[in-house]
Amino acid sequence: MQTKLKAIMDAAILHKASDIYIWPVSQDYQVSLRVLNERLELKRLSFTEGQMLINFLKFQANMSLSEKRRPQLGSWHYLYQNQTFYCRLSSVGDFLGKESLVIRVLYHEEGLLRGYFFPNQLTKIEQEARKRGLILFAGPMGSGKTTTMYHVAKQFGEQYVLCIEDPIEMYEPNFLQLQVNKKAQMGYPELLKLALRHRPDIFIIGEIRDGKTAQVALNAALSGHLVLSTVHAQSVYGVWERLRSLGVDAELLRQGLQMINYQRLLPTKDGQQKVLFDQLKMEDIKAHGKTKVMTEKWGDNLAKCYQNGWISREIWQKYQAG
């Protein structure tokens, strides 16, 4: 079983897959990878082999082997070419009792600047971060938001960084990392209020999901902290609309919000992946039509990526609307 698992993990890391799926399909198990939001089937296992693989992984992650139906979460690390990759595991059984398991692979941020089409966009975020305030990131799952936030926080040297996430996306020994636990009444608002007493210099908040979290995050930003967080939105302008829909006062946003970044991870012609940003500084946010989605700069930069031969025509057309 270790040999099968090694082959799967090595293939996932080689493809830079964000997730590994071990799912029951008919009378066997399908092992597939999520690469750039596309599913790639890796292999098929017999039903018995699939169950054995899931049990082996659950054992490694200190999950209950006897529990087959209820959702379980676990963590595990895998050593690949002298580099440790941290993994999050999630299992659940369907109505027939067939168990499935998903592994989220957490990558390191080495060579981060090579992962951006225009490194000056990342520099722009770092410059705005030095002014403190709230800097927000949006984009689909797996677009690199957490990696970007951690990189920006690391640029401040020895300053005290406190992270609140659900769950922890990336292990960083120099940061104080707190994980949301709703059963213990430790949600984002509660942990944020507690964290303020620790007086950190920088907050990383995994996600602003409700008005309470947004309010505490903005209060922290207004009190002189740098706050980095994510918001579910489908465009850079959508971030502003999302916060307003959560009941956040527009004037409070104008005072505390420093910058909005929407990012997508695009496949390049050489088989790699790089991030492209759409960005707005607070002073750039003016009245705009409800139908406006992306800035003109997004279209210009996307066209440059195509003209420079970095991306295909298909990708250029696909990401016109973000």
The side-by-side arrangement of strands in the sheet containing 133-138 is: 176-179, 161-165, 202-205, 226-230, 133-138, 257-267, 273-281
Question: Is residue 292 scored above 80 in pLDDT?
Answer: no
- 79 alpha-carbon distance from chain centroid: 22
* Class of the domain covering 2-106: alpha beta
pLDDT confidence of residue 166: 82
**pLDDT tens across 87-123, in order?**
989 999 998 889 999 998 877 655 445 689 999 999 9
Mean pLDDT of 58-85: 90
Least-confidence region, from 8-12, 185-189, 226-230, 244-248: 185-189
* Class of the domain covering 112-318: alpha beta
Q: What residues does CATH 3.30.450.90 cover in the chain?
A: 2-106
CA–CA gap between residue 231 and residue 189 (Å, rounded): 15
- Most distant pair of Cα atoms in the chain: their distance: 59
Residue 9: band (very low, low, confident or very high) from pLDDT cuts 50, 70, 90: very high
Q: What residues does CATH 3.40.50.300 cover in the chain?
A: 112-318
**pLDDT tens across 236-291, in order?**
989 998 999 999 998 889 899 999 999 998 989 988 889 999 999 877 775 454 45
- 63 alpha-carbon distance from chain centroid: 24
Q: Which of 67, 5, 319, 247 is nearest to 20 (CA)?
A: 5
Question: Is residue 184 scored above 50 in pLDDT?
Answer: yes
The H or E element containing residue 191 is helix 188-197
Indicate the SS3 state at residue 234. coil
Indicate the SS3 state at residue 139. coil
The percent of residues in the chain predicted with pLDDT above 90, rounded, is 57
pLDDT confidence of residue 83: 86
